[in-house]
């Protein structure tokens, strides 16, 4: 019996080993992706990094040490110029990500299979133990003792039946009432929280309304002040315009007076010139 149980457990360990292997592979691939990206961004200048293709290929070759394979189809890893381009890095990282996703999907599938197999193994182990006990009992247990054992089983089953029957007959009290009580307690708790929420909502609404009214009063006051200042400024502007017109009129009158004075000066000069001429004429006549 123990040999059979060991064989069943050995079969179940295969699933765990496979899952552990895929988990380790994903960890290695994640680190590989980090190393590739770090290597590329550390060596971005192609003229100074002639060893960049080799270093990336060396990183890829490390997968052979861990017995990991990734699908590198449609990727030309033999062209050094292409290996240094970001398109190659992006494609390579995508390949690694796809491999990780596939491994994760396989792990989920294996886990599901392992759980089903474990349940089946448990049933098989229980059957083996049950058959072993039956064989052993047939060999060493007397009929009288067997009768007592079966009678004891009958008593236990009868007790279990009475318990289930009591549960069935009092299902409303034992099950439904408890569910109803729990439901009522939940409803009361919900109503209490709802009341608290409504109170908090009302407090928040009151506070917001008060803030709104205060801001409204402040804004109305500011608007009135601005309106008053605007009215005063308009009045001052009109007064300044009136003063400016008066000054312009005065300047115009002053210019007119200056012109008249200039004309008078011109006439005076003309009269003075005429008088001087007459004086000269009179002096000339007197002398002659």
HSE value, Cβ hemisphere, 13 Å, CA-based, for 55:
17
Residue 247 counted as domain residue: no
Residue 174 counted as domain residue: no
| Full domain range(s) for residue 31 | 2-140
Residue 20 counted as domain residue: yes
Residue 98 counted as domain residue: yes
HSE value, Cβ hemisphere, 13 Å, CA-based, for 176:
6
DSSP assignment, residue 255?
A: H
Residue 66 counted as domain residue: yes
> What total number of domains does the chain contain?
1
Query: How far apart, in Å, do the first and last CA atoms of the chain sit?
Result: 181
How many residues in total does the chain contain? 288
Tens of pLDDT along the chain (288 residues) come to 667 667 666 767 777 888 888 888 888 888 888 887 787 777 654 444 444 455 666 666 666 666 666 666 555 555 555 566 777 778 878 888 888 888 888 888 888 877 777 777 777 667 766 665 554 444 555 677 777 777 778 887 888 888 788 878 888 887 788 888 889 988 998 998 899 889 888 998 999 999 999 999 999 999 999 999 999 999 989 988 888 888 888 888 888 878 888 888 888 888 888 888 888 888 878 776
pTM tops 0.85 = no
Q: Which residues of 154-193 are buried (b: 16+ CB within 10 A; e: fewer)?
A: eeeeeeeeeeeeeeeeeeeeeeeeeeeeeeeeeeeeeeee
């Amino acid at each position: 019996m123990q040999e059979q149980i060991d064989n069943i457990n050995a079969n179940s360990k295969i699933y765990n080993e496979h899952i552990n292997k895929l988990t380790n592979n994903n960890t290695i691939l994640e680190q590989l992706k980090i190393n590739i990206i770090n290597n590329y961004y550390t060596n971005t200048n192609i003229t100074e990094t002639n060893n960049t293709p080799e270093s990336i290929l060396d990183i890829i070759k490390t997968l052979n040490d861990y017995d990991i394979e990734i699908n590198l189809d449609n990727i030309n890893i033999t062209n050094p110029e292409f290996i240094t381009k970001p398109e190659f890095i992006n494609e390579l990282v995508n390949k690694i990500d796809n491999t990780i996703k596939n491994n994760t999907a396989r792990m989920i599938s294996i886990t599901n299979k392992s759980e089903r197999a474990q349940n089946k193994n448990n049933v098989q182990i229980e059957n083996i133990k049950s058959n072993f006990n039956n064989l052993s009992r047939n060999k060493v247990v007397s009929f009288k003792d067997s009768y007592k054992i079966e009678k004891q089983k009958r008593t236990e089953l009868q007790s279990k039946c009475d318990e289930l029957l009591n549960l069935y007959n009092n299902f409303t009290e034992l099950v439904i009432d408890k569910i109803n009580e729990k439901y009522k307690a939940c409803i009361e708790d919900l109503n209490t929280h709802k009341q608290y929420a409504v109170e908090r909502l009302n407090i928040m609404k009151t506070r917001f309304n008060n803030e709104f009214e205060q801001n409204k009063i402040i804004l109305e006051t500011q608007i009135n002040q601005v309106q008053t200042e605007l009215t005063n400024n308009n009045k001052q502007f009109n007064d300044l315009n009136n003063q400016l017109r008066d000054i312009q009129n005065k300047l115009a009158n002053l210019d007119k007076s200056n012109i008249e004075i200039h004309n008078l000066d011109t006439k005076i000069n003309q009269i003075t010139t005429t008088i001087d001429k007459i004086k000269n004429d009179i002096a000339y006549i007197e002398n002659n």
